[in-house]
Amino acid sequence: MDWINIIVQGVLVGGLYALFATGLSLIFGVMRLVNIAHGDFIIGAAYLALTTIHITGLHPLVSILVVVPVVAALGYCLQLGIFNRALNKGILPPLLISFGLSVIIQNLLLETYHADSRKLNAGPFETSSFSLLPGVDIGYLPLLTLLTAVAVVYGLQLLFYRSAAGRAFRAVSDDPEISQLMGYDNRRVYGWAMALSMAVVAIAGVFLAMRANFDPFMGPSRLIFGFEAVIIGGLGSLWGTLAGGIILGVAQAIGAQINPGWQVLAGHLVFLLILAFRPQGMFPRGAT
């Protein structure tokens, strides 16, 4: 029963990793952009939620209604104002821009909030749980995180394959030049894709802040977890990203059970094994 509980807890943690990774996967799928600042935006969203709660007194879950549109609007502006200028100039310029944004965000957060770690107080909800089986307890907050990740991925799948916006995203992803001949404004389509990615980032940031302490320098480690989940699942595959996050979470939970110091290492080892033997990921885009 102990091992069942370990796997269940790993799956629940995987829901958070999937939220980290979904926005990253979306952006790569649409415009082949690897956003180095992705993890820092997650932490920035967590601090924005902290400020929102301090000003309004809202519950952390309700603060999502404020944080998501603000962060999405920021993403849209950044794409139109900065990233679009570099997308047609090779792989390196967008990477350098996102790296610069990462450094700027970390230092802005440090200057504004200082280096002390923070956490959002969700009240009794963050520690409440129910018993699934004898010895297997499910926390309401981790379960909500996992269900939110599933809902986000399902919603994005519907958007991509059942809507006009989704057709635009797929068109500019498959062939940017032909999509322009069809009447799409690639710059604005990319802007909406980044806004959508940043909306997911905002959700991930709020859930992270409710589940763990955070500080201005946590972004790169969140980026690594998100990147590993994307690679494990398969680049550009949203359902694969969800599966990749769960695989990573379970691997870390098993590693921690074997030796507490192996928690993060176990996830990295699984990532490397999958990268070595199945570099296209477990569920590549063409398979979903």
Question: pLDDT tens, 153-189?
Answer: 999 999 998 998 888 998 898 888 888 878 888 899 9
Q: Contact 222/36 with Cβ under 8 angstroms?
A: no
138, β-bridge pairs: 130
- 117-121, 140-144, 190-194, 283-287: segment of lowest average pLDDT: 283-287
Whole-structure pTM value:
0.93
Which residues have CB under 8 Å from 257's CB, separation 6+? 2, 3, 6
Distances (CA, A) of 154 to 1, 194, 237: 31, 18, 12
pLDDT at site 286: 53
Question: Domain 2-287 belongs to what architecture?
Answer: Orthogonal Bundle (1.10)
Domain ranges of the chain: 2-287
- How many CB atoms lie under 10 A from the CB of residue 267? 28
Q: Contact 168/174 with Cβ under 8 angstroms?
A: no
Q: Contact 192/165 with Cβ under 8 angstroms?
A: yes
* Continuous H helices in the chain: 2-31, 38-56, 60-81, 92-113, 140-162, 164-174, 176-181, 186-211, 219-233, 238-258, 263-277
